[in-house]
Structure 1
Amino acid sequence: MTLTTSWQLAPEPFDTADATGLRRDYYDEVASRYWKRPATSEEIDEGLSGDGVELLTPPTGQFVVGRFDGEAAACGGLLMLDPGLAELTRVYMRPAFRGRKGAGLLLELLEAEARQLGACRMVLNTRLDLIEARSLYVRHGYREIPAYCTGPYVEICYGKDFATAD
């Protein structure tokens, strides 16, 4: 049996209808898991208001949307923290599309986009309860690092150096 995947991943403005829907779903899932109850539309609106997503556009960052068979399925962003250092952020895969190899493709594209913006290292912060995300990062070469930032949801940090061509 041959498993064919039909993923299309590309940079996309953070405010398109698909990107906005994915960002809302991302915030809904992480907030609901944290609060241990469903987030309300008002809470999602508040969480997305002023969240700095406008920085996820070159030269300060990038936002990527992944589609499976044409349907918006995943998103992720990167933010340049310093020359050479990018932060991975807002990585999300809609539940119906998990397990279809898209998350790894999403990380690969975000890393490539970070390298194009001059990054040689990627860092990220997350919560301990986001086990699936943490597992994904470790599978793709991210290792636990000391905290590089602070915040109420920063429970663990990871980093990855990019290989350089000689």
Structure 2
Amino acid sequence: MTWSFEVTPVDHPDAAQLLREYLDEIASRFYGRQITDEELDAALEEHHSRHLTPPTGAFLLAWREGVLAGCAGLRVVAPDITELTRVFLRREERGKGGAALLVAAAEDVARDLGATTIRLDTRDDLVEARALYARLGYETVEPFNDDPFAHHYFAKSLAGSRLAG
């Protein structure tokens, strides 16, 4: 399977669509029900992604075999620290090796943004994400924000090799 990744403006239609799908899934999962379109619109505005643009961040789109498959965001929080956020693969693209490749591509972009450390937070119910990050070498760290939706905090040194290709 061929995966590709490209930094894309968050207001690009493909980016906007994936951000909508991402927030729909994580909010619906959190509330244990499908959220309404009105709730989703409000959440998209409240949890906007406008900061995921250079020089304060970046937004990546992922494709598998030329089909839009997922996304990941990066936010610079200090000259040497970048935060990974909004990591998402469409359901039909999961289980095909793309998540690890997407995170590796995001790590490369974080390096390009000047980061030597990448960090993230995630929720209790996102067990698959927590397992992925642990498998990819992210270590549990002390909380670094007071986000009520964050329950687990991870970080990883970006010293070392870059994603090939």
TM-score, normalised relative to structure 1:
0.93
- DSSP 3-state at the match of 1:73: strand
Q: Which moved more, 1:14-23 or 1:78-87?
A: 14-23
Equivalent residue letter for 2:57: G
| Whole-angstrom distance in 2 between the partners of 1:44 and 1:125 | 21
Query: Structure 1: any 5+ residue segments left out of the alignment?
Result: none
How far does residue 51 in structure 1 lie from its aligned partner after superposition?
Answer: 2.5
How far does residue 21 in structure 1 lie from its aligned partner after superposition?
Answer: 1.0
| Whole-angstrom distance in 1 between the partners of 2:114 and 2:107 | 11
- DSSP 3-state at the match of 1:65: strand
Q: What is the number of equivalent residue pairs in this alignment?
A: 161
Identity of aligned residues (%): 41
| Whole-angstrom distance in 2 between the partners of 1:50 and 1:15 | 16
| Whole-angstrom distance in 2 between the partners of 1:70 and 1:20 | 18
RMSD: 1.2
- DSSP 3-state at the match of 2:50: helix
Query: Structure 2: any 5+ residue segments left out of the alignment?
Result: none
- DSSP 3-state at the match of 1:55: coil
How far does residue 24 in structure 1 lie from its aligned partner after superposition?
Answer: 0.6
Structure 2 matches for 1:8-157, cutoff 5 A?
A: 8-157=4-153
TM-score, normalised relative to structure 2:
0.94
How far does residue 39 in structure 1 lie from its aligned partner after superposition?
Answer: 1.1
